[in-house]
Amino acid sequence: MKSIFGATLLAAATLTLTPVLAQASAYQSATFVDEATAGGDYFLDNTRYLGAVFSVTANESLTSIGGNFTVNGDGNAIFGAVVRLTSADTLPAISDLAASTVSEALFTPTGGDQSVALTGTLTAGKYAVLFGSGLFGATGASGLVASQNPVGTPTFVQYADNGSGVLAADTFNFDTLRVTMNTVAAPVPEPESFALAAVSLLLLVGQSLRTRRQ
Protein backbone atom coordinates (compact mmCIF):
# COMPACT_ATOMS: atom_id res chain seq x y z
CA MET A 1 0.00 0.00 0.00
CA LYS A 2 2.76 2.41 0.94
CA SER A 3 4.55 1.88 -2.39
CA ILE A 4 1.37 2.64 -4.34
CA PHE A 5 0.77 5.75 -2.22
CA GLY A 6 4.33 6.99 -2.83
CA ALA A 7 4.21 6.31 -6.55
CA THR A 8 0.91 8.17 -6.87
CA LEU A 9 2.26 11.14 -4.96
CA LEU A 10 5.39 11.25 -7.13
CA ALA A 11 3.32 11.06 -10.31
CA ALA A 12 1.11 13.92 -9.16
CA ALA A 13 4.08 16.11 -8.33
CA THR A 14 5.80 15.31 -11.62
CA LEU A 15 2.73 16.01 -13.72
CA THR A 16 2.03 19.26 -11.91
CA LEU A 17 5.52 20.54 -12.71
CA THR A 18 5.64 19.46 -16.34
CA PRO A 19 6.24 22.60 -18.48
CA VAL A 20 5.60 23.26 -22.13
CA LEU A 21 8.55 24.19 -24.28
CA ALA A 22 9.38 27.90 -24.10
CA GLN A 23 8.27 29.79 -27.19
CA ALA A 24 10.94 31.92 -28.88
CA SER A 25 10.12 35.33 -30.35
CA ALA A 26 12.22 37.20 -32.90
CA TYR A 27 11.64 40.93 -33.23
CA GLN A 28 13.14 42.80 -36.18
CA SER A 29 12.67 46.30 -37.55
CA ALA A 30 13.87 45.31 -41.03
CA THR A 31 15.30 42.45 -43.02
CA PHE A 32 18.95 42.34 -43.98
CA VAL A 33 20.43 44.32 -46.88
CA ASP A 34 24.19 44.03 -47.39
CA GLU A 35 26.21 47.19 -46.82
CA ALA A 36 27.73 46.95 -50.30
CA THR A 37 24.23 47.24 -51.73
CA ALA A 38 22.90 49.73 -49.19
CA GLY A 39 25.83 52.07 -49.75
CA GLY A 40 26.24 53.68 -46.36
CA ASP A 41 25.59 53.71 -42.64
CA TYR A 42 24.54 55.96 -39.78
CA PHE A 43 27.27 56.43 -37.21
CA LEU A 44 26.86 55.69 -33.53
CA ASP A 45 29.32 56.66 -30.83
CA ASN A 46 29.33 58.76 -27.66
CA THR A 47 27.51 61.59 -29.47
CA ARG A 48 24.66 59.48 -30.89
CA TYR A 49 22.86 56.33 -29.79
CA LEU A 50 20.60 54.63 -32.35
CA GLY A 51 17.93 51.98 -32.06
CA ALA A 52 14.39 50.75 -32.65
CA VAL A 53 11.25 50.30 -30.57
CA PHE A 54 9.53 46.95 -29.99
CA SER A 55 6.27 46.11 -28.20
CA VAL A 56 6.13 43.15 -25.82
CA THR A 57 2.71 41.75 -24.87
CA ALA A 58 3.65 39.19 -22.19
CA ASN A 59 6.49 38.31 -19.85
CA GLU A 60 9.53 37.31 -21.89
CA SER A 61 13.18 36.57 -21.17
CA LEU A 62 15.84 38.29 -23.25
CA THR A 63 18.34 36.13 -25.13
CA SER A 64 20.04 38.55 -27.54
CA ILE A 65 19.89 41.84 -29.45
CA GLY A 66 21.60 42.79 -32.68
CA GLY A 67 21.55 44.59 -35.98
CA ASN A 68 23.27 45.08 -39.33
CA PHE A 69 26.50 46.92 -38.53
CA THR A 70 29.00 48.68 -40.77
CA VAL A 71 32.43 47.21 -41.49
CA ASN A 72 33.88 50.66 -40.81
CA GLY A 73 33.88 50.62 -37.01
CA ASP A 74 36.96 51.62 -35.05
CA GLY A 75 37.51 48.13 -33.61
CA ASN A 76 36.53 49.05 -30.07
CA ALA A 77 33.49 47.97 -28.07
CA ILE A 78 30.10 49.66 -28.18
CA PHE A 79 27.14 48.92 -25.93
CA GLY A 80 23.85 47.31 -26.75
CA ALA A 81 20.99 47.92 -24.32
CA VAL A 82 17.30 47.27 -23.87
CA VAL A 83 15.57 50.30 -22.35
CA ARG A 84 12.01 50.47 -21.09
CA LEU A 85 10.13 53.45 -22.54
CA THR A 86 8.29 55.92 -20.33
CA SER A 87 4.54 55.81 -19.71
CA ALA A 88 4.23 58.17 -22.70
CA ASP A 89 6.05 55.60 -24.90
CA THR A 90 9.06 57.87 -25.30
CA LEU A 91 12.72 57.46 -24.46
CA PRO A 92 13.63 58.50 -20.92
CA ALA A 93 15.76 61.59 -20.41
CA ILE A 94 19.45 60.84 -20.87
CA SER A 95 19.93 61.31 -17.12
CA ASP A 96 17.46 58.46 -16.51
CA LEU A 97 18.75 56.14 -19.24
CA ALA A 98 20.90 53.92 -17.04
CA ALA A 99 18.11 53.51 -14.47
CA SER A 100 15.62 52.59 -17.23
CA THR A 101 17.92 49.99 -18.78
CA VAL A 102 16.74 46.40 -18.34
CA SER A 103 19.94 44.81 -19.62
CA GLU A 104 23.11 45.81 -21.43
CA ALA A 105 26.28 44.28 -22.85
CA LEU A 106 29.48 45.36 -24.58
CA PHE A 107 30.59 43.92 -27.92
CA THR A 108 32.71 44.85 -30.93
CA PRO A 109 30.82 44.90 -34.26
CA THR A 110 32.89 43.70 -37.19
CA GLY A 111 30.30 44.24 -39.93
CA GLY A 112 27.13 42.56 -41.13
CA ASP A 113 24.42 40.92 -39.06
CA GLN A 114 25.72 40.57 -35.54
CA SER A 115 24.16 39.98 -32.13
CA VAL A 116 25.17 39.97 -28.48
CA ALA A 117 23.74 37.78 -25.73
CA LEU A 118 21.65 39.44 -23.02
CA THR A 119 19.71 38.27 -20.00
CA GLY A 120 16.79 39.96 -18.29
CA THR A 121 13.02 39.79 -18.01
CA LEU A 122 10.65 41.99 -19.98
CA THR A 123 7.08 42.62 -18.87
CA ALA A 124 4.37 43.84 -21.21
CA GLY A 125 5.22 47.25 -22.62
CA LYS A 126 7.41 49.07 -25.12
CA TYR A 127 11.19 48.90 -25.21
CA ALA A 128 13.98 50.46 -27.24
CA VAL A 129 16.98 48.42 -28.35
CA LEU A 130 19.82 50.95 -28.42
CA PHE A 131 23.44 50.91 -29.56
CA GLY A 132 26.04 53.54 -28.72
CA SER A 133 29.17 54.39 -26.77
CA GLY A 134 30.34 56.51 -23.86
CA LEU A 135 28.08 54.59 -21.45
CA PHE A 136 28.39 51.27 -19.61
CA GLY A 137 32.14 51.33 -20.24
CA ALA A 138 31.90 51.43 -24.05
CA THR A 139 34.50 53.54 -25.87
CA GLY A 140 34.12 52.47 -29.52
CA ALA A 141 32.37 53.75 -32.63
CA SER A 142 30.39 51.93 -35.29
CA GLY A 143 27.29 52.41 -37.41
CA LEU A 144 24.02 50.79 -38.46
CA VAL A 145 23.77 50.10 -42.18
CA ALA A 146 21.33 52.30 -44.12
CA SER A 147 18.47 51.36 -46.47
CA GLN A 148 17.24 48.11 -44.93
CA ASN A 149 13.92 46.48 -45.87
CA PRO A 150 11.32 47.50 -43.25
CA VAL A 151 9.16 44.94 -41.48
CA GLY A 152 5.78 46.56 -40.91
CA THR A 153 6.07 50.18 -39.81
CA PRO A 154 9.09 50.30 -37.51
CA THR A 155 9.82 53.14 -35.10
CA PHE A 156 13.41 54.32 -34.76
CA VAL A 157 14.81 56.46 -31.96
CA GLN A 158 18.04 58.15 -31.03
CA TYR A 159 19.90 60.17 -28.46
CA ALA A 160 21.77 62.92 -30.28
CA ASP A 161 23.88 65.92 -29.30
CA ASN A 162 21.54 68.90 -29.14
CA GLY A 163 24.36 71.33 -29.84
CA SER A 164 25.32 71.95 -26.25
CA GLY A 165 27.21 68.72 -25.71
CA VAL A 166 24.21 67.04 -24.07
CA LEU A 167 22.47 64.02 -25.61
CA ALA A 168 18.72 64.48 -26.04
CA ALA A 169 16.09 61.84 -26.82
CA ASP A 170 14.50 62.09 -30.25
CA THR A 171 12.96 60.07 -33.06
CA PHE A 172 15.02 58.96 -36.06
CA ASN A 173 13.07 59.34 -39.30
CA PHE A 174 15.83 59.50 -41.88
CA ASP A 175 16.05 55.87 -42.98
CA THR A 176 15.29 52.23 -42.17
CA LEU A 177 17.75 50.38 -39.94
CA ARG A 178 17.94 46.70 -39.07
CA VAL A 179 17.67 46.15 -35.31
CA THR A 180 16.75 42.81 -33.73
CA MET A 181 15.69 41.45 -30.35
CA ASN A 182 15.27 37.78 -29.45
CA THR A 183 13.36 36.52 -26.44
CA VAL A 184 11.95 33.34 -24.94
CA ALA A 185 8.58 33.25 -23.18
CA ALA A 186 8.60 31.86 -19.65
CA PRO A 187 7.48 28.18 -19.67
CA VAL A 188 4.08 27.41 -18.12
CA PRO A 189 2.58 24.07 -17.04
CA GLU A 190 0.61 22.20 -19.70
CA PRO A 191 -3.19 22.23 -19.15
CA GLU A 192 -3.20 18.43 -19.49
CA SER A 193 -0.79 18.21 -16.58
CA PHE A 194 -3.24 19.93 -14.26
CA ALA A 195 -5.99 17.49 -15.25
CA LEU A 196 -3.77 14.45 -14.79
CA ALA A 197 -2.49 15.78 -11.50
CA ALA A 198 -6.08 16.21 -10.28
CA VAL A 199 -6.90 12.60 -11.19
CA SER A 200 -3.76 11.41 -9.42
CA LEU A 201 -4.68 13.35 -6.30
CA LEU A 202 -8.16 11.79 -6.28
CA LEU A 203 -6.57 8.35 -6.52
CA LEU A 204 -4.24 9.31 -3.71
CA VAL A 205 -7.17 10.30 -1.45
CA GLY A 206 -9.04 7.13 -2.31
CA GLN A 207 -6.00 4.99 -1.54
CA SER A 208 -5.58 6.76 1.80
CA LEU A 209 -9.21 6.09 2.78
CA ARG A 210 -8.91 2.43 1.75
CA THR A 211 -5.78 2.04 3.86
CA ARG A 212 -7.50 3.51 6.93
CA ARG A 213 -10.46 1.11 6.61
CA GLN A 214 -8.14 -1.87 6.48
Three-state DSSP class for residue 209: helix
Check residue 211 and give its pLDDT.
53
* Interatomic CA distance for residues 154 and 128, integer angstroms: 11
Q: For the chain, which residues make up each domain, given as ranges?
A: 2-20+189-213, 24-185
Q: Are 50 and 156 in contact (CB under 8 A)?
A: yes
* Residue-level pLDDT at 166: 93
Helix (H, G, I), strand (E, B) or coil at 117: strand
Q: Nearest CA to 16 among 193, 191, 188? A: 193
Question: What CATH architecture applies to the domain 24-185?
Answer: Sandwich (2.60)
| DSSP code for 96 | G
44 and 132 Cβ atoms separated by less than 8 Å: yes
Going residue by residue through the chain, which has 214 residues, state the pLDDT in tens, using 9 for 90 and above.
555 445 544 444 444 444 556 689 999 999 999 999 998 999 999 999 999 999 999 999 999 999 999 999 999 999 999 999 999 999 999 999 999 999 999 999 999 999 999 999 999 999 999 999 999 999 999 999 999 999 999 999 999 998 888 999 999 999 999 999 999 996 655 555 444 444 454 444 455 545 555 5
* Local structure of 193: helix, strand or coil: helix
Check: pTM over 0.75? Answer yes or no: yes
Segment holding 183, helix H or strand E: strand 179-185
